[in-house]
Chain A
């Protein structure tokens, strides 16, 4: 298994440009999430999905869109990039290790995308 893959690894955008960060997993995990990591702060949840066709907002969703058309893919779209979106972005997938009624989820993270908006 490739696990969780993200592309690109690095990206520089100008203010106002749009782009899509790609995330894919080959483990058939139902849950996928996008986080951003900024210096001095813990990772923060942007958007998440509990299965194909289902997405919801996290803690910091403004300026980002997601979709989940397949179990494998969970792209993150920046609609109009702003310098405040300069960050490292991590995609993660997870599954409930205790079965359907468990609330404990094993986490698998992608390698990250380092985004700079000038």
Chain B
């Protein structure tokens, strides 16, 4: 069993839809990251969370430490949101080591 699991693996949505991507983890963590990777592109950090909720534009990330679960929401999705979304966790106390999920491939159709 992977220590960081994402669902779904693939997601197709119509423009304007509300999208949710989930991340569950099985280790103790100090922070959780949501990353975005466009096809053939680099990786960009969207959020770093250790508790609660963060919002940036149309993106919202939440984390429930007790349930070891995080969600990334995209409101009013747009084709430019099409990308791979990756969940990663800082684990093991004062360390910068990350464990990554395998990513969710999102395609938003016009």
A positions within 8 Å CB-CB of B = 31, 33, 40-45, 48, 50, 58, 90, 92, 94, 96-97, 101-112
Can you name 21 A-B pairs with beta carbons within 8 Å? A40-B102, A42-B100, A42-B101, A43-B86, A58-B97, A90-B43, A97-B48, A102-B94, A103-B30, A103-B90, A103-B93, A104-B31, A104-B48, A105-B31, A105-B96, A106-B48, A107-B45, A107-B48, A107-B88, A108-B45, A110-B42
B positions within 8 Å CB-CB of A = 2, 4, 30-31, 33, 35, 41-45, 48, 50, 86, 88, 90, 93-103
- Which residues does chain B contribute within 8 Å of A102, judged by CB atoms? 30, 94
| A106 and B45 contact, Cβ closer than 8 Å, known pairs A42-B4, A42-B86, A43-B86 | yes
Distance in angstroms from A104 CB to nearest chain B CB is 4
The contact of A109 among B2, B44, B103, by CB within 8 Å, is B44
Which one of A33, A40, A50, A103 has the greatest number of beta carbons of chain B within 10 Å? A103
